[in-house]
């Protein structure tokens, strides 16, 4: 059972890395060209996909969430009541 779990997890990692690399834009790939990453993922399988996720994938910019404030129901909102 453990062998099946390891096989499924490795195959899922390989597929995710392959699809993620294929969908990534050429200009945002790090270290190697996109075609080289695809070949590495195909040849080395899960290890290539793991290398892609750690070294080749573009870094995501973290944007802080903006707080919109407290939501006021219409019957408590003076601007809404003024327009009635």
Contact between 24 and 50 under an 8 Å Cβ cutoff? The reply is no
Predicted local confidence at residue 74, as pLDDT: 75
* Alpha carbon distance 54, 16 (integer Å): 13
Per-residue pLDDT, 61: 64
Q: Is the pTM of this model over 0.85?
A: no
Tell me how far apart the alpha carbons of residues 49 and 52 are, in angstroms, rounded to a whole number: 5
Angstrom distance (rounded) from CA 69 to CA 50: 41
CB-based contacts of 17, cutoff 8 Å, min separation 6: 41, 46, 48, 49, 50, 52, 53
For the stretch 24-79, pLDDT in tens is 888 888 888 889 999 999 999 889 999 988 888 877 766 666 666 677 777 777 77
């Amino acid at each position: 059972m453990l062998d099946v779990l390891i096989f499924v997890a490795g195959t899922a990692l390989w597929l995710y890395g392959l699809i993620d690399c294929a969908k990534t834009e050429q200009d945002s790939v790090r270290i190697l060209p996109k075609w080289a990453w695809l070949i590495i993922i195909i040849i080395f399988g899960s290890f290539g996909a793991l290398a892609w996720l750690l070294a080749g994938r573009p870094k995501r910019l973290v944007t802080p969430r903006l707080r919109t404030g407290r939501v006021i129901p219409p019957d408590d909102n003076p601007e809404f009541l003024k327009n009635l």
